[in-house]
Amino acid sequence: MKESSDTKTLEAKCFCGSVHFKVDVPVSSLPFLTHLCHCSLCRYGSGAPCIFHAALPLDVIPKFVAPSSEKNMTGFLIGNGIATWNFCSTCGCHIACIAIDKRTWTPSTSIFIDGPEYFHIRKHIYSKSTKDGGIAQALTHTRGQAFIDWNPPDDSPDAKIVESRPEVGEDGKERLRVQCECKGVSFTIPRPSQEVIDDEYMSQFVSHKDKSKWHATFDACDDCRLVNGTHVVGWTFIPLSVCEPPIKDDLLIGTAKTFKSSDDALRSFCGTCGATIFYSHKDRRPGTKQHIVDVATGILRAPEGVMAENWLTWRGRLAWFPSGKRYDEKFAESLQEGMNKMVLDRHGVVDDYNIG
């Protein structure tokens, strides 16, 4: 693919490399305005707090780099059949939304090499869908400018919020539903039990501010970016043994598939809609009942909103902030500043701590 003075060749690749493409874009269109979509589809279909998208001009179509091909993606039909939600069939990375006629591609900007130079993150859309503001409440400014925040009119059908209801288990106690977009993966988690709180290891993942909540953090590492297809993913940390119905150490439940991102790390995602579900590391399995897994917060169905703050205590410090800063300095710094402010507003102090 040869550049002319009128075009710029951009390159994108998922974590495993099964999806690898280049695309020639008009220089006049750069930098692309990137929007963060907070709608329920984007959250439940990715497992992330939002999706990072920029629409390519009409008929500007990526060309796959061999041995990669379009066949290495799984497509999930969305929007009453007007487009497909595409992700890598091997590692689960969200790649793009593609119009059904394939003339318009809206790729994830997070998978582009040198992406931050050509994709400027400046806009939130459907932030009201989150109910509580979601990550948009922490991302208000970047590059010295305020974020644009667009929502459809309140009386528009597009403004309808997907509501989640409180649930209880067979013991009559509260449960939090965890469910992807297609509902092929669905289970619940409970509040921390006294057994968990009393356990020397598992108690490290219980909120130090409220023993009825779990810890949570946003993660900006490169691996998560390229496996998830987003600049950032949210995680909460749960003993696998407390999930209902029971889930084995192989992380396979319903339509879930797994991918080893390293010798020590196993990840799972929905094989139908692509949502990230779990991350598991061998160092977090000191005992049979003590297998702690990261659960993607984007698929939590908390009635109060996507931050699930009735269930989670969010840490201000981003996990793997230096990694996120290397890829997109402006975004990482803006999010870190915003998270510190959010935590300060909630708790009156930004205390730093490790989780686990």
Tens digits of per-residue pLDDT, 70-129? 999 999 999 889 999 999 999 999 999 999 999 999 999 999 998 899 999 999 999 999
CATH number of 167-347: 2.170.150.70
| The token pair that represents 245 in the structure block | 């119905």
| Residue 307 pLDDT exceeds 90 | yes
Is the CB of residue 134 less than 8 Å from the CB of residue 128?
A: no
Is the CB of residue 277 less than 8 Å from the CB of residue 47?
A: yes
| Residue 3 pLDDT exceeds 80 | no
Give the per-residue pLDDT at 305: 98
Please list the helix, strand and coil fractions of the chain in percent, rounded to the nearest 5, in that order.
25, 35, 45
Give the per-residue pLDDT at 88: 99
The kind and range of the H/E element at 231 are none
Is the CB of residue 176 less than 8 Å from the CB of residue 300?
A: yes
| Residue 160 pLDDT exceeds 60 | yes
Percentage of residues of the chain with pLDDT beyond 90 = 95
| Residue 185 pLDDT exceeds 80 | yes
Predicted confidence (pLDDT) per residue in 47-68, tens digit: 999 999 999 999 999 999 999 9
Q: What is the DSSP letter of 57?
A: P
Percentage of residues of the chain with pLDDT beyond 70 = 99
Taking residues 6-13, what's their average pLDDT? 97
Long-range contacts formed by 165-170: CB under 8 A, 24+ apart = 165/303, 166/303, 169/244
**Residue 252 CB-density burial (10 A; 0-12 exposed, 13-18 middle, 19+ buried):** middle
Same fold, 7-159 and 167-347: yes
| The token pair that represents 214 in the structure block | 């779990």
In the Cβ-directed half-sphere of 338, how many Cα atoms lie within 13 Å? 19
Give the per-residue pLDDT at 272: 99
How much is the CA Rg of the chain, to the nearest whole Å? 20
Give the per-residue pLDDT at 2: 57
CATH number of 7-159: 2.170.150.70
* 178: three-class secondary structure by DSSP: strand
Tokens 């040869």 identify what position? 2
Instruction: Categorize the per-residue pLDDT at 7 as very low, low, confident or very high, splitting at 50, 70 and 90.
Output: very high
- Produce one character per residue of 131-164: b if its CB has 16 or more CB atoms within 10 Å, e if not: bebbbbbbbeebeeeebebeeeeeeeeeeeeeeb
Give the per-residue pLDDT at 5: 75
Q: 187 to each of 34, 167, 170, 214, 253, how far by Cα in Å?
A: 33, 11, 14, 17, 9
Mean pLDDT of the chain, nearest integer: 96
Choose among 2, 25, 7: nearest CA to 105.
Answer: 25
Give the per-residue pLDDT at 235: 99
- In the chain, where the domains are located: 7-159, 167-347
